A and B are shown apart, each in its own frame.
Chain A
Amino acid sequence: MSVFAKLTLTEIRLTLREPVYAFFTLLFPVLLVTILGNVPDMKEAPPELGGLRVIDLYAGLALGLAIGIVGLQGLPSVLATYRERGILRRLATTPAPPAALLAAQLVMNLLTMLLSMVLVYTVAIVAFDVPFPANPALFLLAVLLNCAGAFSLGLLLSALAPTGKTANAIGTFLFFPMMFFAGLWVPRELMPEILARIGDFTPLAAGQDLMTDALMGQSPGVLSITVLVGYLVVCGAAAVKLFRWE
């Protein structure tokens, strides 16, 4: 087995020992959909939503919430802690490159999000009649791009934050406005125009739009894709350039 595969398996195994992580990434989104799905108002379909019901949007938002938690809070604090505690430095003394551990963390989180996606949509589709995505391939791409946007922002945070604690604090500070723009409190479609347009340029909102497009079988928003790929390229490159290994 390659060193990278070994590291990834180890990271998965270690994450399984973190009940808080498992709760917020896997259980919490499902719980949210289940609770909201039982609120009668959620079954309504205001005309602004173009045929979708509120709950159809909230299935995506529940997954987006998990992606935001992982990307902005989990990932940066874990990576900054790995640096702070000399885990990366120890790795640098071995033939295994420390970057492989970072990549292993990213892959582990991505796999967790895909599992979360399956859980959330299984419950949403089976229990609450949320439609199966009209364009499944685009939907998968939307979820991956949503992760890419949030994770690369988190990676940049871990590159800049001096400690795991600071990384977590900054991440939390960014998390709430970004979830707001993604529509967690008021769906984007119902937001005042100006807020919705600002939201277009935040990663979790762009990801949410793209997931909605795929759900309804619309052609994907070029702006959403551009924004997410932009975060991936700009934040990713900055993180690679600025990352301090110790």
Chain B
Amino acid sequence: MTVIEVEKLAKRYGETVAVRDVSFNVEPGEIFGILGPNGAGKTTTVECVAGLRTPDAGRITVLGMPAADPRLRTRIGVQLQESELQDKITVREALELYSSFYPDPADWRELAADLGLTAKLKSRFGKLSGGQKQRLSIALALIGNPEIAILDELTTGLDPQARRDTWDLISGIRDRGVTLILVTHFMEEAERLCDRIVVIDHGAVAALDTPAGLIQRAGDQQKIRFRPSVPIEDELLTVLPEVRAVHRQGNRIEVTGSGDLLHAVVSVLARNGITAAELTLEQSTLDDAFVHLTGRE
């Protein structure tokens, strides 16, 4: 059963078109990424899915119900950007208060432990670090034992270590059987965590695929750099079907191509008794795919 169906979603604010045409399905248990440049319409899309905004056009079904159905509030957990709490509320009070909203809440003590907040239970929200606030936000999104959790830009503003810790956490949440929607503009985050990604640009879907699939679409680009032990002719390499181009930078050679490029190049060098020093291989990343799809950095 598909847990979320979004069909031809459109939403404008006055003159500004936030979302023009967005459709996608989310399957149970997956981590589904929504990727796009700033202002592409990602947040508006998830706010419509979360039932916080009414779409101008299109249809959104969540767990078999229209997204606006209030009964869904107990079954979806949402962490929004720039949603804070009262400065003077303690972590414990917030967890207790929010768990009282739900019919079948998670044990907030366990949740606090999972999110590394146990030592901070008596701290007030205003005194927490950015990472701790973010973790509390995630805890509050999960406190109702939701079937779906929507996390918007959850690692924005975190330092690299906190970001990696959060990623581990996300994998842990998926293991509880929660379907996750992750809104992000970090390529590395999407590539590492998401099963499938929809790329939204200018309010419309630019692509929908697995991270590997998206990279493939951007053109399978590989780049090998090395320093040959003896000087070689370009032809030695350009005759290989895998090789597209050969460039020289001083005594270093840069070969671009596709397919099993590394194997082809190393084999031909070996046959000629040449060794390749300082060899590096670069493959296209989601970054390249993103630039290819959206035409932006």
Query: A-side interface residues toward B, CB under 8 Å?
Result: 1, 3, 6-7, 10, 13-14, 17-18, 82, 85-87, 89-90, 92-96
Instruction: Evaluate contact between A90 and B88: CB separation under 8 angstroms.
Output: no
Q: Does B138 contact A (CB under 8 A)?
A: no
* Chain A min CB distance to B171 (Å): 23
* Chain B min CB distance to A156 (Å): 22
- Residue on A nearest B89 in the bound complex, by CB: A14
- Residue on B nearest A90 in the bound complex, by CB: B83
B86 contacts across to A, CB distance below 8 A: 14, 82, 87
* Chain B min CB distance to A173 (Å): 25
- For the A-B complex with A6-B97, A10-B93, A93-B50 known, give 15 more contacts whose Cβ atoms are closer than 8 Å: A13-B93, A14-B86, A14-B89, A17-B88, A82-B86, A85-B84, A86-B83, A89-B80, A93-B77, A93-B78, A93-B80, A93-B141, A94-B144, A95-B74, A95-B144
Interface size on B, as a range, is 20 to 34
B141 contacts across to A, CB distance below 8 A: 93
B80 contacts across to A, CB distance below 8 A: 86, 89-90, 93
Instruction: Evaluate contact between A87 and B85: CB separation under 8 angstroms.
Output: yes
Q: How far is the CA of A95 from the CA of B93 in the complex (A)?
A: 18
Q: Does B278 contact A (CB under 8 A)?
A: no
* Chain B min CB distance to A83 (Å): 11
- Residue on A nearest B103 in the bound complex, by CB: A95
Instruction: Evaluate contact between A95 and B84: CB separation under 8 angstroms.
Output: no
Instruction: Evaluate contact between B93 and A96: CB separation under 8 angstroms.
Output: no
A94 contacts across to B, CB distance below 8 A: 73, 98, 101-102, 144
20 residue pairs from A and B, CB less than 8 Å apart? A6-B97, A7-B97, A10-B89, A10-B93, A82-B86, A85-B83, A86-B84, A87-B83, A87-B84, A87-B86, A89-B80, A90-B84, A93-B73, A93-B76, A93-B77, A93-B141, A94-B73, A95-B101, A95-B144, A96-B101
Q: Does B232 contact A (CB under 8 A)?
A: no
Give the residues from 29 to 58 in chain B that come closer than 8 angstroms, CB to CB, to chain A: 50, 52
Give the residues from 50 to 94 in chain B that come closer than 8 angstroms, CB to CB, to chain A: 50, 52, 70, 73-74, 76-78, 80, 82-86, 88-89, 93
- Residue on B nearest A95 in the bound complex, by CB: B73
Q: Does B253 contact A (CB under 8 A)?
A: no
Q: Does B156 contact A (CB under 8 A)?
A: no
Instruction: Evaluate contact between B88 and A14: CB separation under 8 angstroms.
Output: yes
Give the residues from 104 to 151 in chain B that come closer than 8 angstroms, CB to CB, to chain A: 140-141, 144
- Residue on B nearest A11 in the bound complex, by CB: B86
Query: B-side interface residues toward A, CB under 8 Å?
Result: 50, 52, 70, 73-74, 76-78, 80, 82-86, 88-89, 93, 97-98, 100-102, 140-141, 144
B52 contacts across to A, CB distance below 8 A: 89, 92-93
Looking at the complex, which one of B70, B74, B97, B102 makes contact with A10 (CB distance below 8 Å)? B97
Q: How far is the CA of A202 from the CA of B283 in the complex (A)?
A: 73
* Chain A min CB distance to B13 (Å): 12
Please give me the 3 A-B residue pairs with the lowest Cβ-Cβ distance, nearest first. Answer: A86-B83, A93-B78, A90-B83
Looking at the complex, which one of A14, A82, A90 makes contact with B140 (CB distance below 8 Å)? A90
- Residue on A nearest B97 in the bound complex, by CB: A10
A6 contacts across to B, CB distance below 8 A: 97, 100
A3 contacts across to B, CB distance below 8 A: 100-101
* Chain A min CB distance to B125 (Å): 10
Knowing A10-B89, A13-B93, A95-B74 touch, does A89 contact B83 (C-beta < 8 A)? yes
* Chain B min CB distance to A79 (Å): 12
* Chain B min CB distance to A199 (Å): 36
Q: How far is the CA of A13 from the CA of B100 in the complex (A)?
A: 16
Instruction: Evaluate contact between B82 and A18: CB separation under 8 angstroms.
Output: no
Q: How far is the CA of A18 from the CA of B89 in the complex (A)?
A: 11
B93 contacts across to A, CB distance below 8 A: 10, 13
A87 contacts across to B, CB distance below 8 A: 83-86
* Chain B min CB distance to A135 (Å): 39
* Chain A min CB distance to B187 (Å): 27
Q: How far is the CA of A93 from the CA of B80 in the complex (A)?
A: 9
B70 contacts across to A, CB distance below 8 A: 95
Instruction: Evaluate contact between A95 and B102: CB separation under 8 angstroms.
Output: yes
Q: How far is the CA of A13 from the CA of B96 in the complex (A)?
A: 14
* Chain A min CB distance to B84 (Å): 4
B98 contacts across to A, CB distance below 8 A: 94
